[in-house]
């Protein structure tokens, strides 16, 4: 595939400080690439997940991240059951939207970290130095200790 950005400026290294994504396309500065031993590659954002804030829990489904989807649904179901058992019926209509907003902000804040941590548990590692530095700086990745 031909690079669509080729020809704008010949000093390609000056403008492409963010590494290369698939087919040599540049990645945004807050995206990291991880790869496993089989060569499977995943690219995801590091930091706050606006899609989880707005569309929770659909990003987990689109990423086929079934483990985190079940964790999120289990925590929300448990909190909802606890809420129903402890709050009167009159207060339930007032408390439920607040609890939903709290969960949306919580999942937006931590979902990308949950996704990367699960990938690391499945054998994925940062694909390049830029991704490793970005994940280390965000405290998503720690260097494994050598034996």
pLDDT tens per residue across span 81-93: 999 899 888 888 8
Residue 144 pLDDT more than 80?
A: no
Indicate the average pLDDT of the chain.
85
The answer to whether residue 34 is domain-embedded is yes
pTM of the model as a whole? 0.79
Q: From the centroid of its chain, how far is CA 12?
A: 29
The answer to whether residue 10 is domain-embedded is no
The answer to whether residue 25 is domain-embedded is no
* E strand map for 18-103: 31-35, 41-45
Q: What is the pLDDT of residue 10?
A: 47
User: Binning pLDDT at 50, 70 and 90, where does residue 13 land?
Assistant: very low
Q: What's the half-sphere exposure (Cβ side, CA atoms, 13 Å) at 131?
A: 21
86-131, pLDDT tens digit by residue?
A: 988 888 888 889 999 999 999 999 999 999 999 999 999 998 899 9
The domain tally of the chain equals: 1
Residue 46, classed as helix, strand or coil, is: coil
The answer to whether residue 128 is domain-embedded is yes
Task: Tell me the residue range of the domain where 45 lies.
Answer: 30-137
């Amino acid at each position: 595939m031909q690079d669509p950005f080729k020809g704008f400026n010949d000093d390609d290294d000056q403008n492409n400080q963010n590494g290369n994504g698939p087919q040599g396309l540049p990645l945004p500065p807050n995206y990291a690439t991880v790869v496993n031993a089989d060569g499977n590659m995943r690219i995801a954002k590091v930091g706050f997940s606006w899609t989880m804030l707005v569309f929770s829990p659909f990003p987990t489904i689109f990423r086929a991240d079934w483990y985190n989807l079940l964790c999120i649904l289990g925590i929300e179901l448990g909190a909802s059951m606890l809420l129903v058992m402890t709050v009167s019926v009159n207060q339930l209509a007032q408390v439920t939207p607040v609890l939903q907003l709290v969960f949306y902000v919580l999942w937006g804040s931590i979902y990308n970290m949950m996704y990367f941590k699960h990938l690391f548990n499945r054998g994925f590692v940062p694909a390049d130095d830029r991704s490793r530095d970005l994940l280390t700086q965000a405290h998503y990745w720690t260097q494994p200790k050598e034996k």
